[in-house]
Amino acid sequence: MPESSTVEPQVLDHECDGIREYDNALPGWWTFLFWACILFSPLYIVYYHIGVGPSIYLELDDEMAAAAEAQLAQLGPMPVDVSTILGVAADPKKLLIGRSMFRTNCSVCHAADGGGNAGPNLCDDTYINIRSPLDFFRVMHDGVVPKGMPAWSPRYNNTQLVVLAGYVASLRGGTPAAPKAAQGDLKPAAWSTFLTPSTSTLEAPK
């Protein structure tokens, strides 16, 4: 035994199948931590459920609002028009945002590089529903539901959809790893030709 005889604890006088038990007291640090954990509970409840502590929903709202604000500040005004959509291609920061949105939501059908899979190839020159860059916005906003393209308007606001439209427009002419065969019979002119003063602004849907 490592203990000296003076600290050797008392063995209780009962036994069970030869097993005996010491009468050691609860370790002090154990008792302290146990009470500390118990006392933490009312404090937590009072602060978060009765008092001023934020709920997870309030925290979420704050975080979402801050993120939206930061993004708006980053993007500046993004009206739904051709020049803004095509302007995305010239801004690496906006392109990165668009790319991230695309890879979160679109690459599952259109492939990460836009080469198409279940959805059409977005890198070639033929389109099913796109006559002008504005149509990217329109298709994203309303979807082509019977053909499997969801409407993204419930999920994203117009500013975000403009960025995404600009990103997808910028994919044209890319060289995807596994391009899907051309679909659709629309062959819009090069995007730059749409940048004329006569191009009207699409009325922004609500």
Partner 1 sequence: MSSPATSTRAFTDAPDRPATGVLERFSYDDAIARMFMIATVVWGIVGLLVGVLIAAQLADPRFNLGLEWTSFGRLRPLHTNAVIFAFAGNGVFLAVYYSTQRLLKTRMFSDFLSRLHFWCWQLIIVSAALTLPFGATQGKEYAELEWPIDIAVVFTWVVFAVNLFGTIAKRRERHLYVAIWFYIATVVAIAVLYIFNNLVVPAGWLHSYSIYAGTQDAFMQWWYGHNAVAFFLTTPFLGLMYYFLPKAAERPVFSYRLSIVHFWTIVFLYVWAGPHHLHYTALPAWASTLGMLFSIMLWMPSWGGMINGLLTLRGAWHRVPTDPVLKFFVVAITFYGMSTFEGPLLSVKSVNALSHYTDWTIAHVHAGALGWVGFMIFGMVYWLAPRLFQTPLAKPKWATTHFWIATIGILLYIIAIYWTGLTQGLMWRAFDSQGQLQYPDWLESITPLIPFYWIRVVGGSLYLFGALMCGLNLLLTWNARPKVYEIPVYEAARLNATYREPAIAGSTLPKNSVVEFARTLDVFSQMRWHRKWEGLATLFTVLVAVAIVTASLFEIVPLFLRKGDTVRIDSVTPYTPLELVGRDVYISEGCMNCHSQMIRPLRAEIERYGEYSKPGEFVNDHPFLWGSRRIGPDLARVGRKLPSPNWHVRHFNNPTDTSPGSIMPRYTHLLEKPLDLGELTASLKAMQTLGVEYTNAEIENASITARAQAKLIADIVVVEGGPTGVEERKVVALIAYLMRLGTDISKPTAPIVATPTAAATGGTP
Binding site for partner 1 (CB under 8 A): 1-3, 11-27, 30, 33-34, 37-38, 40-41, 44-45, 48-49, 55-57, 60, 63-64, 67, 70-71, 74, 93, 96-97, 100-105, 107-109, 112, 117-119, 143, 145-150, 154-155
184: left (phi over 0), alpha (psi -120 to 50) or beta: left
Q: Which is nearer to partner 1, 24 or 175 (CB)?
A: 24
Q: Which is nearer to partner 1, 15 or 125 (CB)?
A: 15
Closest CB 11 distance from partner 1, rounded Å = 6
Cβ proximity of 181 and 128 under 8 Å: no
Cβ proximity of 129 and 143 under 8 Å: no
Q: Which is nearer to partner 1, 19 or 52 (CB)?
A: 19
Closest CB 190 distance from partner 1, rounded Å = 28
Query: H or E segment at 16?
Result: strand 11-16
CA distance 198 to 160: 25
| Apex 75 CA angle, 168 and 141, nearest 5 | 45
Q: Which is nearer to partner 1, 45 or 190 (CB)?
A: 45
Closest CB 8 distance from partner 1, rounded Å = 10
